[in-house]
Amino acid sequence: MADYDYDLFVIGGGSGGVRCARFAAGYGAKVAIAEERYWGGTCVNVGCIPKKLFVYGSHMAEELEDMAGFGWRVGETSFDWQRLVANKNDEIGRLNGIYERMLRSGGCEVIDGRATIVDPHTVEVAGKRHTSRYLLVATGGWPYVPHFMGCEHAVTSNELFFLEKLPKKMVIVGGGYIAVEFAGIFNGLGVEVTQLYRRNLFLRGFDRDIREFLADEMRKKGVDLHFNCDITMIEKQGDRFVATLDRGTTIEADLIVYATGRHPVTKGFGLEEVGVKLGEDGAIVVDDMFQTSVPSIYALGDVVGHMELTPVALAEGMAVAKNLFAGETATVDYDMVPTGVFSQPEVATVGLTEDDAHERYGAIDIYTSEFRTLKHTLTDNTERTLMKLVVDRATDRVLGAHMVGTHAGELIQGIAIALNAGATKAVFDKTIGVHPTSAEEWVTMREPVRGQEEAAQ
């Protein structure tokens, strides 16, 4: 076997790359990992973690309003955007350090800089070449703004984490979870928010009942939602921006944000030059073992475009480390992956939507529960919660669980365990609920609200 400097060289210090590097080193491999920007990747720096911190902050105004119903009286209040950003920056800096220390203490060589692939076993960083038996590309994704007249005036979700001041009015373009979450965040912080989406309903791919219910709740909270609507041009007029819509009207704002998707970061790394096959969207094409078209090069995480979720990247990193250095045959099952959208109110889901379940299984039954939580009975808050179960009529197996409501992300984790274990509706029914909680509704939905039959029937 040829001699190499390393057994594994990882390009990208995000969640998936770091997980693979640490566990590969734990299995006895000699590992190096290079990162050109910041340790922890999108999730830690401009994604999950800072976004969730902003979500917490944006909830406080509503909590202050709800306090009155419980007898609390609060004096004059104010909000300091700069302090929130500074505190967030301190926490992210702390996490950056933790990631780097974990790698070093785990036996990995940590290299700061941009790594480019020279050949199937060689990378170059800052003019120095390193050889490795295997290369792993985990460079993630990056937000983009589509090209149109005035597109240079728009910002992406990355810039929202570092705004110098809070805008009074903003337009958010997009219908994915990032757009929905930031609409809730800035609306909660007192910004006048308009969200535009070019299709007829946001969160494409989620259960339709959930999407419609969330739209109603967001409008109740003050977000100005416009579907079947897009921007054709942006003009800067003084300190403000004027967006022309495809319906012929205009809208003014202090800030226009595009959350219309992310592209895999694959350009400029030498991938195509060494023969790594890319898909039409620029994502790296891999097999079930995360091997690319070049046998010595592997890829995982957002750069392969399977499911752009941090826990999925972590699972993929574990699988690659086990396959290459632990003598195992590990794959990742994407069928029952729980997902949370930290909208306001939250969305959480696991398993199949109603439409997908009907298409795959035919006859299904649908159970739902819609209610106002106990907490809000003493307040003026009109927010409502929706829970939904999708059940295969032939086997009684629960195929999907979906929720809109407070702590939906926390509640769906346990349901995901049950669905991965193959739980039936009968198992849900015989489980005793925790009272009084919203969670008990998962086990008290006794009668289906509707069913869907196979076409032949």
Residues annotated as catalytic are 435
Task: Give the CB-side neighbour count of residue 447, counting CA atoms within 13 A.
Answer: 1
Q: Tell me if residue 147 falls in helix, strand or coil.
A: coil
Listed in sequence order, the residues at least 6 apart from 428 whose beta carbon sits closer than 8 Å to its beta carbon are 389, 398, 418, 442, 443, 445
What sections of 162-286 are H helices per DSSP?
177-188, 208-221
* Peptide bond connecting 345 to the previous residue in cis, omega within 30 degrees of 0: yes
Residue 328 — φ and ψ, nearest 5°? -105, 165
| Distance between CA atoms of residues 337 and 307, nearest Å | 9
Question: Taking the CA atoms of the chain, what radius of gyration do you get in angstroms?
Answer: 24
User: Could you identify the residue written with the tokens 């509706």?
Assistant: 425
Query: What residue type is assigned to position 251 of the chain?
Result: I
CB 103 within 8 A of CB 33: yes
User: Could you identify the residue written with the tokens 């649908």?
Assistant: 366
CB 226 within 8 A of CB 194: yes
| Distance between CA atoms of residues 126 and 114, nearest Å | 7
Nearest to 220 by CA among 102, 398, 383: 383
3-state helix, strand, coil in the chain (%, to 5): 35, 25, 40
Q: Tell me if residue 149 falls in helix, strand or coil.
A: strand
CB 229 within 8 A of CB 246: yes
CB 346 within 8 A of CB 438: no
| Distance between CA atoms of residues 202 and 384, nearest Å | 19
Nearest to 317 by CA among 5, 43, 4: 43
User: Could you identify the residue written with the tokens 């960083």?
Assistant: 125
What sections of 298-342 are H helices per DSSP?
310-325
Q: Are strands 255-258 and 250-253 parallel, antiparallel or unpaired?
A: unpaired
Nearest to 302 by CA among 214, 151, 178, 149: 178
Nearest to 309 by CA among 345, 344, 348, 277: 348
